Chains A and B, each alone.
Chain A
Amino acid sequence: MSSNISEGSPLVSIRDLHFSRAGRTIFDGIDIEIMRGKVTAIMGPSGTGKTTLLRLIGGQIRPDQGTVEVDGEVVHKLSREKLFQLRQRMGMLFQSGALLTDLTVFENVAFPLREHTDLPESVLRNLVLMKLEAVGLRGAHGLLPRELSGGMARRVALARAIVLDPKMVMYDEPFTGQDPISMGVLVKLIRELNDALGLSSIVVSHDVRETLAIADYVYVIGHGKVVGHGTPEEISNTDSPWVEQFVKGLPDGPVSFDYPAPEFIDELMHGAES
């Protein structure tokens, strides 16, 4: 896989990104850089568009304004063929795992290899078993997705995401809904795979403790903007009230608990009139 830019340059550059959906602004001019070989976390409360950001990086949706550049290529300007070539260098772990329900664990992990390569069955088998071994699920290769727990399904999806040896892996809320053991396994796996395989990782999450434990750099987004960024230490010791409220999970602060609504008294009076 060829790289168009040098090792020291960012793998993903997002510049002045604007995106809105159904009249609601999701991103209002954000700039993010994902460095090679690092684990970069994108954090923020639910509904701030973290998953949308991954879909923009993967070219599944187009920005209204600004650019998303991956490995030197502007994603939304690529032809479908070039975009698919670029995606072979990306792995993505969906929140649900997105495993193909009619295929076994082995076939799920083998799926990208069968689609994109012409490897002999014996080589393919060894590759799949190696990736399953890396996530600790070699023994589960004959199971169907419905026979797996949530944590196991996510690990299988992770094995599938790395089976083509991508340059980067995007994790969409990898820790949500996991028991403490599964969460610990996933935290360890993300960091170890990143370092062992020389990947670049983007972890989208709102699980503060786990994410800060493995991230090299953190972006916090809110209200469509980047409200804070820095190393985990810098984020933990921030003087920004917004970031502080998010990191410490405080109920009061600039982020309102209530969804925007008209004055309660007005609504009650209006309801009585009608």
Chain B
Amino acid sequence: MLRFLTKRLLEIIPILLVVSILIFLFVHMIPGDPARLVAGEDATLEDVELVRKELGLDKPLHEQYINYMANLVKGDLGTSLKTKRPVTEEVFERFMPTFWLTFWSMVWAVVIGLIIGVVSATKRNKWQDYLGMFGAVSGLSLPSFWLGLMLIQLFAVTLGWFPSGGMESWKSYILPSFTLGTGVAAVVARFTRSSLMDVLKEDYIRTGRSKGLSEGKVVWGHGLRNAMIPVVTMTGLQFGFLLGGSVVIETVFSWPGLGKLLIDSVAYRDYPVIQAEMLIFALEFILINLIVDLLYGVLNPQIRYE
């Protein structure tokens, strides 16, 4: 187990190295001149050249790459071209809001999704199943942009229960995490339902029932545990995606997160910020994959880590 973990953690280094090279190349391949964009709409050529020099963009590409890597090794992600602030600060400032929003969205979405999924699977083709799946399909189909604005109209403007945006108190989390989690809850519900239905057909479930176990124990204890593997995989992936920040949610709820930062930095060709964000996303996915792999073992002790 320890060997497995060390090996997996060491693997991260070469992966990140390759990723960083790819990111650097791709980012510099996007058309658009950052000096021109940073200098602004009414800049003269003189301004643009001044900005280019100031930002170090006048140096040859390989030199820029060497600088970038040298700094990266030291843990320095560079300086934002747009705001001239350290990228570490810029990104970290938005990572935590994104993380907590993702976390709370996932918590309620997984709980609700599991409940709906289990109820639907056990009450197959009964009204509970129809209602659950009706909710799940709705949750998947509602554009979060529309849902967010509707929730603001209802709960912020008309009823005044929650703030319409920003990140001030726990109340600010309710509407955005509900909006963000809706899609995930729907996916979890559908995955749980189909996976559990398959499991409930298995022989060991029949054995359990025939030896007189209560239905609750059969479903929650034996059935669900075995049905969880695809659900965990999918939830891990969703978590990774959401950690990238959601532009839509962040825009609608004025949430200071990573998604909008990425879009803005691409629009500005803010190379250091784009590179830092992509690196972080890569790292997040690697770590989440690792966690998911470890969870498999918890769910099914037959899985061994060699």
**A in complex with B:** no
* Chain A interface (Cβ < 8 Å from any Cβ of B): none
